[in-house]
Structure 1
Amino acid sequence: MDKRYNTLSLPEQLMLRKQAIDDVLAHPEWTLQQSVRHLKRTMRLTSAELAGMAGIAQKTLLDIEQGRSTGTVQTLNKLLGVLGLQLGVVRKSARD
């Protein structure tokens, strides 16, 4: 956990994880960059911690966070997998 924050109990960590999931699902308009930054901030993780949890290189995560890369589908699924989510495809409505 990011050293800027006090240590949280397991129930508090789970609450933050649920909040992060709810926020990402509630904002489909967010870019990947915005979503990753929000996940890190909400879950109180460093880039190294999130990258480790997702099984990706820290540089890959930093590139995504800083908008230098959009990542691959596999990378996105690894990042989302930390929260039990995965990338999906949906049919566009006639209004889009």
Structure 2
Amino acid sequence: MIGDKIKNLRKLQRISLRSLAEKSGISKSTLSDVENDKSSPTINTLEKIADALGVPLDYLTRKSAKALIEDKLEELSMTFEELSNKTKIPIIFFDKLDDIIPDEGDYERIQIIAPTLNIEPKILLNALYRQEPPIYEGSMSSSEEDFGIVKEETGKYSSSRNEFKTAEEAVQYILKENSIAAYGGYDINKMTDDEIIEFANELLRQIELISYKYKK
């Protein structure tokens, strides 16, 4: 599938195999083997090809939000135009989806698209989240300092990745957040330990995004 995707993109952009080899710094024979699925490319090789074609690496590995949507559309024999009509989301959103730095509105659109295509929303949301730029790059403060309040209250998330490791820690955090409890819609008693941990860690990630959006 990766080979076909590379070949289709190259032909769509009217780039010869020789030109792609020159732009990517990968030999023509290696590219030919990749396109014809005669070899399994390394991540480093795929990154070079993706850069040369002007697409994200996730697009080639079929993990980007747009790639996941494309694959589901193919499965349903549906076009982007039909999806646009059903969701009332402009077609340009889908055209530019791989290139955007997502904002709140983009996440809202993804949550409309997911059920329309019968895709678990968190799958598309996580794919879109990976398009966010590194949050701490160039920051004068560390993630531990920026999350000092959260750590002081819970005392137990991993300082290296800002995440909970056990269900007990996750439950304590969820129950202490009154604003989260007020929304309801979930029952911790019916959730598995893994779901509780995932829920709490997703809350942390969302707080992180919001905090940096309004940080002066």
| Greater radius of gyration (CA) | 2
Paired residue total: 62
Mapped contact 2:4–2:36 kept (Cα < 8 A)? no
Distance in 1 of aligned mates of 2:24 and 2:56:
12
Instruction: Point out the structure with the larger helix share.
Output: 2
Mapped contact 2:34–2:41 kept (Cα < 8 A)? yes
The structure 1 segments of at least 4 consecutive aligned residues displaced by more than 3 Å after TM superposition are 87-90
Distance in 2 of aligned mates of 1:84 and 1:36:
10
Question: Which is bigger in relative contact order (C-alpha 8 A, separation at least 6)?
Answer: 1
- Cα deviation, residue 86, structure 1: 2.6
Task: Determine the structure 2 residue equivalent to 1:36.
Answer: 6
Q: Structure 1 residue 49 and structure 2 residue 19: aligned?
A: yes
Distance in 1 of aligned mates of 2:21 and 2:31:
6
Partner of 1:80, secondary structure, is: helix
Task: Determine the structure 2 residue equivalent to 1:85.
Answer: 56
Q: Structure 2: which 5+ runs fail to align? A: 65-122, 124-216
Q: Structure 1: which 5+ runs fail to align? A: 1-30
Q: TM-score, with normalisation over the residues of structure 2? A: 0.26
Q: TM-score, with normalisation over the residues of structure 1? A: 0.56
Task: Determine the structure 2 residue equivalent to 1:58.
Answer: 28
Matches for 1:20-31 after TM superposition, within 5 Å: 31=1
Query: Percent same amino acid at aligned positions?
Result: 25
